[in-house]
Structure 1
Amino acid sequence: MNDHGIPSDEQLVAYLDDQLDTEQRSRIDAAIAEDSLLNLRLQWLARSSLPFKDAYDQAGRQAPVERLQSMLDSLPSPERPAMNRRWFLAAAAGLVVSSVVADRLFLNWQSSLQKTNWRARLADYMALYVPQTLDHLPGDEAAQRAQLRTIDARLGLNLTAAKLNLPPAQFKRAQILEYDGVPIAQMTWLDPAHGPLALCVTRSSSGSRPFAHERRRGLNVVYWADLEHAWMLIGRNPAAELEDMARLLRTRLSA
């Protein structure tokens, strides 16, 4: 920590690599919970751990190995006539095709990763939450209405406290985050049985999609989309309970 109690990039990297002791991690957990800009720094640093090796391994597995081996086997022995121009052209064409296949596989993998990246990053963020992250936040209704108006202005929504009522979970905060220049709204509750719970939304033009489930960072996720937005509800609640909440929210928010 520096003199102002803000972790350095080196400390955040050590945090991501799980190289800090319990006391140091607790201090950074508290700092991240209080400072959304610090959380964005942490997300940016975490992006350096994307699995590029996996992408190239996948491309290697899909390469035309048998055809390339056949080409190598066809190399003339010293007793055979020297390689002619036709063989060189065939070999060059084979290498070009292999390179194109590998490049397309990597770009397709990268595109697929980007489509789910926002959920992955928010799951990374939510995995840091514990009940103490939220329970000290004041239940100031005027402040919460102002927070929701900020989200409405950025994302073209019409949010109210009534639409977001999810008893017995208590609504705690609404805030704007940003990932790669894209605004993402996060609304958080504290569930007395399961702890922190969050509804996250960003703009999307991929069309309406039904409910789907996944698990990230040990958390259950229900996600869906309407014509203009993509949504996810994430928490430690059982998947079926989480989907019931998601259905209730979707009905209210589409009204």
Structure 2
Amino acid sequence: MNTPSDEQLVAYLDDELDREQRSQLDSLIADDPLLNLRVQWLSRSNLPYRDAYDELARQAPLDRLQARLDAAPSPQRPGFSRRWFMGAAAAGMVFAGVAADRLFLGWLAQQSHNWRELVGDYMALYVPQTLEHLATDEASQLAQLRTVDARLGLNLSPAKLKLPGAQFKRAQLLEYDGVPIAQMTWLDAAHGPLALCVTRSNSGSQPLAHERRHGMNVVYWTEREHAWMLIGHNPATELEGLAKMFKERLST
């Protein structure tokens, strides 16, 4: 089976696949942590679909959009389900040339905690053995950082990412529905996996702030057009010191 679409995963969550399809997806989800993360994201019952759709409605040319809605069959009127929402997007219910699912993602992007929630879910899967086997030669690291730089408009180097007591292991580019998230990971000798993650942001510069996710400490901030977060099992005060160091290094 090829990489499943969000619509297939929603059908999986709604128990609308036959036994063979479901078995194939069970195997893929078990073997692919990133796919598992997508399933977790889609399965959250507390996602604010109605709030997001209300925001889209306020932006839409209502007469034209209502005409399209009236013409589209919906077996569950009134109300919304994950299946209906994604079906509407797939059916081409668009306005201003932008698909509804992209607008919904844009609405979520304005809620800054959501991308950190995705990263926290992903980091919860990490153990030291996840990183121990990775190559750490400088040529590999430079190639990885160039990929990240090109996609996110950064200027990273191994020197800027060097940490005391931790070995830099990998820079990789993740993506959720077209939104890039870069992840730089270290293996801390005392506290295990540690990650600095970044995505684009239009919220302007904001100071360091703290939170906890999955038993890990998080320090996050925004600098001009990028949002950053540092996440790991390090003590909060230690993590803040590292975040201040990164903030200074990466702003130059």
Identify the TM-score tier after normalising by the shorter chain. 0.5 to 0.7
Which residue number in structure 2 is paired with residue 246 of structure 1?
243
Instruction: Say yes or no: does 1:9 pair with 2:9.
Output: no
Instruction: Say yes or no: does 1:165 pair with 2:162.
Output: yes
Equivalent position to 1:51, from 45, 57, 65? 45
Could you tell me which amino acid in structure 1 is paired with residue 25 of structure 2? Answer: D
Which residue number in structure 2 is paired with residue 118 of structure 1?
115
For the 8 Å contact 1:118–1:179, the answer to whether it is kept is no
Instruction: Say yes or no: does 1:196 pair with 2:193.
Output: yes
Distance 1:8 1:125, change over 3 A: farther
Cα shift readout 1:228-253 (whole Å, capped 9, x = no counterpart): 10000000000110010000011001
Deviation for aligned residue 1:11: 4.4
Which residue number in structure 2 is paired with residue 150 of structure 1?
147
Which residue number in structure 1 is paired with residue 204 of structure 2?
207
Which residue number in structure 2 is paired with residue 187 of structure 1?
184
Deviation for aligned residue 1:112: 8.6
**Aligned-partner Cα distance in 1 for 2:49–2:175:** 26
Q: Please tell me the root mean square deviation across aligned C-alpha atoms, in Å.
A: 2.5
Which residue number in structure 1 is paired with residue 216 of structure 2?
219
Which residue number in structure 2 is paired with residue 236 of structure 1?
233
**Aligned-partner Cα distance in 2 for 1:54–1:111:** 9
**Aligned-partner Cα distance in 2 for 1:234–1:210:** 16
Cα shift readout 1:99-157 (whole Å, capped 9, x = no counterpart): xxxxxxxx9xx859843211111111101111111011121110000000000000000
Distance 1:138 1:117, change over 3 A: same
**Aligned-partner Cα distance in 2 for 1:132–1:55:** 37
Gaps of 5+ in 2: 1-22, 51-103
For the 8 Å contact 2:108–2:114, the answer to whether it is kept is no
Could you tell me which amino acid in structure 2 is paired with residue 211 of structure 1? Answer: L
**Aligned-partner Cα distance in 2 for 1:123–1:53:** 16
Local SS of the residue matching 1:154: helix
Identical counterparts, % of pairs = 62
Which residue number in structure 2 is paired with residue 86 of structure 1?
none
Cα shift readout 1:172-222 (whole Å, capped 9, x = no counterpart): 000000012100100000000000000000011111010000001111100
For the 8 Å contact 2:174–2:182, the answer to whether it is kept is yes
**Aligned-partner Cα distance in 2 for 1:112–1:228:** 13
Could you tell me which amino acid in structure 2 is paired with residue 166 of structure 1? Answer: L
Which residue number in structure 2 is paired with residue 92 of structure 1?
none
More helix per residue: 1
Local SS of the residue matching 1:175: strand
Aligned residues: 176
The higher radius of gyration belongs to 1
For the 8 Å contact 1:148–1:160, the answer to whether it is kept is yes
